[in-house]
């Protein structure tokens, strides 16, 4: 028999949100069995709790946002991925702003803190979601195909496809969660340089910089453009370099880091089912909308 878990003691991670740029503190605290993951906005006159469930998904543009009424918490996916990957069933997440800190653009720091405080075993059996049938969601126009099939364990096969040769077609997979911390958690979010200015024009990625994302560049940079980017990212011009198609001085951790990050995001979004699931997922060109729509469809079938 497997038992539910929570964390042994509270911990806090702080930093700017990726899109709002607002500096927030996210404090994770132990929670009783059958609580699940619950977010609490503590900066409001009256604290509002938002269960981390697919039916509370409010928006999936450039991240996953949960909401109850007009109260929202955005960019939850990396934290949720770490909780899923590290087998945390129950926790309260107190956040004093509208967005979870982006940190280094991965789930690594969440995993490090969970590992440091350790897990507490609760006296309640862990509940797994099982599928009575194959579940599929697709968007043929975008080439997205999301399949969940009944299985005895948890497995994900992920494939992404980009026209740019810098990424191209990549795959990543995970069978069980034992290798999550080593193989998936450190993989950072990524974006193409031409998307950066578009996102900034939409008043997004205010908290983004060259240390928390892989910025892919598929064209040569002139001196004028380097100077403009230096001002944009508040860096010295000489630090604006392109190495192997990446606009910063950090190297990808894996040749298929973008595919692994998409898998990381999926693990966070699918945990919005409210419990771990035994299924074999085959996901092609996933994104937050596709991930959460698949979760909602599964919820409708098992309800």
- Which residues are part of the catalytic machinery? 288
Distances (CA, A) of 177 to 73, 153, 227, 267: 26, 10, 44, 10
- Angle, helices 288-302/257-270, rounded to nearest 10 degrees: 30
Residue of 6, 151, 16 lying closest to 92 (CA atoms): 6
Helix or strand holding residue 161 (H, E): strand 154-161
Backbone angles phi, psi at 287, to 5 degrees: -160, 175
What DSSP character marks residue 165?
T
Helix or strand holding residue 124 (H, E): strand 119-125
Q: Cα(first)–Cα(last) distance of the chain, in Å?
A: 24
Return d(Cα 78, Cα 102) in angstroms, integer.
Answer: 8
Return d(Cα 288, Cα 59) in angstroms, integer.
Answer: 9
Q: How many CB atoms lie within 10 A of CB 101?
A: 26
Task: Indicate the burial class of 5 (C-beta count within 10 angstroms; 0-12, 13-18, 19 or more).
Answer: buried
Return d(Cα 245, Cα 190) in angstroms, integer.
Answer: 12
Q: How many CB atoms lie within 10 A of CB 227?
A: 12
Beta carbons of 197 and 225 less than 8 angstroms apart: no
């Amino acid at each position: 028999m497997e038992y539910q878990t929570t964390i042994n003691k509270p911990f806090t991670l702080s930093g700017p949100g990726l899109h709002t740029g607002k500096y927030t503190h996210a404090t994770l605290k132990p929670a009783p069995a059958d609580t699940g993951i619950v977010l609490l906005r503590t900066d409001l006159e009256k604290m509002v709790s938002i269960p981390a469930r697919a039916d509370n998904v409010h928006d999936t543009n450039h991240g996953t946002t949960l909401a109850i009424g007009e109260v929202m918490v955005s960019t939850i996916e990396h934290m949720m991925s770490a909780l899923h990957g590290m087998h945390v069933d129950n926790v309260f997440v107190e956040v004093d702003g509208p967005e979870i800190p982006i940190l280094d653009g991965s789930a690594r720091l969440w995993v490090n803190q969970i590992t440091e405080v350790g897990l507490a075993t609760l006296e309640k059996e862990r509940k797994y979601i099982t599928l009575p049938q194959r579940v599929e969601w697709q968007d043929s126009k975008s080439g997205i195909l999301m399949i969940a099939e009944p299985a005895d364990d948890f497995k994900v096969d992920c494939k992404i496809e980009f026209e740019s040769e810098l990424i191209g077609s990549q795959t990543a997979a995970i069978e069980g969660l034992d290798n999550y911390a080593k193989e998936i958690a450190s993989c950072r979010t990524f974006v193409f340089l031409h998307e950066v200015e578009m996102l900034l024009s939409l008043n997004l990625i205010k908290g983004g910089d060259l240390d928390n994302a892989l910025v892919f560049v598929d064209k040569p940079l002139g001196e004028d453009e380097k100077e403009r980017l230096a001002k944009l990212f508040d860096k010295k011009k000489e630090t604006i370099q392109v190495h192997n198609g990446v606009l910063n001085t950090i190297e990808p951790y894996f040749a298929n880091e973008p595919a692994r990050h998409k898998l990381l995001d999926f693990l966070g979004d699918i945990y919005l089912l409210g419990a771990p699931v035994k299924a074999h997922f085959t996901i092609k060109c996933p994104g937050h909308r596709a991930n959460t729509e698949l979760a909602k469809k599964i919820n409708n079938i098992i309800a």
